[in-house]
Amino acid sequence: MRGETWGLIGICIGVVIGVGLAIGAFFCFRYHRKRQKSHIGPNSSSRRAATVPIRANGADSCKVLSDSSTGTESSKSVIQNGVSHWLGGLNKVNGVSASGILEYSYKELQKATLNFTTLIGQGAFGPVYKAEMVTGVTVAVKVLATDSKQGEKEFQTEVMLLGRLHHRNLVNLVGYCAEKNQHMLIYVYMSRGSLASHIYSEKCEPLNWELRVQIALDVARGLEYLHDGAVPPVIHRDIKSSNILLDQSMRARVADFGLSREEMVSKQASHIKGTFGYLDPEYISTRTFTKKSDVFSYGVLLFELIAGRSPHQGLMGFVELAAMNTEEKVGWEEIGDPRLEGKFDVVEFNEVATLAHKCVNRIPKKRPSMRDIVQVFTRILKNRQSCRKLHKDNLNPKTDEVIINMDQLDPRSSISELGRVESLDSTADSTDV
């Protein structure tokens, strides 16, 4: 009996020793992993992040926009398997894809914005400040309102999407800050502000028709890239004039991707999100958003450019009333923006208005794709250039005629000179092929 008792005691002691050894091995393994990471060091991860180019104007150009890219301590993104995981205790945003997007410190942005006093705009997300980085580059800093739960989701969405979307007609994300309970997005600075301000503000000079067509093409190219160039495709979901920004050359870029979604994500939305006046009726009724939902919003934007009237001021009712009075593809000029003062090509104007009306068709399948829209505007611009060239040639015709001032001719030599001219003309005629 006593032997059995000692046997059980021995077994228990063996189990305890085995468990102790397993726990010790586990902690030794973790200690070894930590030492390996400490040998790598924070600066190496910063330098690695700095090697990822920030594309400012599409796939063909790269531009570093912060001193963080030189390997300073403010760049804390660690790239693992092509995906950047954020440090600093950001549990709510951990795992958001931010490959190639640099992280800035709060102090950097506080200094660049003069302690957040350079306010240039205010949106649903929060205030936007102009910032001068130590490199001399001007950027725009969008600060998430601290009480905005929806804004935090939009913050994650923008970083996740814009980390991989680069096009000359998109407002590119330069970096972000997630520190001291603050969430900030840093963008390329667009010095001319929003398209809405140029359409509606009396402080801005009216946009001429040719510039409006160019802006429409720029926006269409940005959306075409999202729909057909991005992998997987992206639906913007909030196209409106206040989300179209203009650079110093008045070239347009699509901004604000807080509501954007990849098309592969479930298309069913529990709540309607977007801006009323621009929302696709099909989306409102079915809660399903598609590429054609963006096309509808784009069509409303086109009518804003055409009529100079806001969707909140009965724009679409105004358009539908005009559509009843048009004859097929003509007659749209009656809704032209008064600020244009009738200075536009009527044929071109009607073609753009007809295209816009197709975009807002209540049946999504009948709306054109963004690729079709880009092709239409490209053809319009080519036709415009051809007409200008033809007009220029008509004003300055090429001629080989010799003009003679009869008053300067010597009477005695007039006959011989005229004979020489006739000889030159006949020679020219004989050599033409």
Where in the sequence is the domain holding 312, given as residue range(s)? 190-421
pLDDT at position 249, please?
Answer: 95
Helix (H) or strand (E) holding 198: helix 195-200
Domain count, the chain: 2
Question: For residue 38, is it within any domain?
Answer: no
Q: From 189, 217, 249, give the residue that closes a domain.
A: 189
Residues 211 and 256 in one domain: yes
User: Does residue 178 share a domain with residue 58?
Assistant: yes
Q: What pTM was computed for the model?
A: 0.68
ω into 232 cis (within 30 of 0)? yes
Q: Consecutive sets of 10 residues in the chain, 433 residues long: mean pLDDT of each?
A: 65 76 73 51 35 32 29 33 34 41 90 94 84 92 73 75 86 86 90 94 92 98 95 92 95 87 60 86 88 96 96 91 80 93 94 96 96 97 87 66 50 46 42 40
- DSSP-assigned letters across all residues of 312-341: GGTHHHHHHHHHHHSBTTB-GGGG--GGGT
Domain assignment present for 286: yes
Strand blocks (E) in 53-172: 78-80, 83-85, 102-103, 119-122, 127-132, 138-143
d(CA 183, CA 188): 17
Q: Which CATH number is 144's domain given?
A: 3.30.200.20
175 and 204 part of one domain: no
Take residue 414 and report the two structure tokens written for it: 């007039």
- From the candidates 67, 147, 238, 372, give the one annotated as an active-site residue: 238
Q: Are residues 251 and 374 in the same domain?
A: yes
315 neighbors 305 (Cβ within 8 angstroms): no
Q: Are residues 215 and 344 in the same domain?
A: yes
Name the strand (E) or helix (H) holding 186.
Answer: strand 182-188
Same domain, 219 and 353: yes
What is the per-residue pLDDT for 43?
38
Residues 321, 214 share a domain: yes
Is 238 considered catalytic here? Answer: yes
Closest CA to 73 of 99, 98, 105: 105
Pair (231, 288) in one structural domain: yes
Residue 228 sits in the same domain as residue 82: no
Q: Are residues 247 and 173 in the same domain?
A: no
**Number of continuous H segments (helices) and E segments (strands) in the chain:** 12, 12
pLDDT at 180: 75
Cβ neighbourhood burial of 429 (10 Å; 0-12, 13-18, 19+): exposed
CATH (domain of 332): 1.10.510.10
CA-to-CA distance for 145 and 244, rounded, in angstroms?
22
Both 270 and 344 in one domain: the answer is yes
**Is residue 373 within 8 Å of 359, Cβ to Cβ?**
yes
Q: Same domain for 143 and 242?
A: no
pLDDT (0 to 100) of residue 259? 76
Q: For residue 326, what pLDDT is reported?
A: 77
Residue with tokens 């300055």: 396
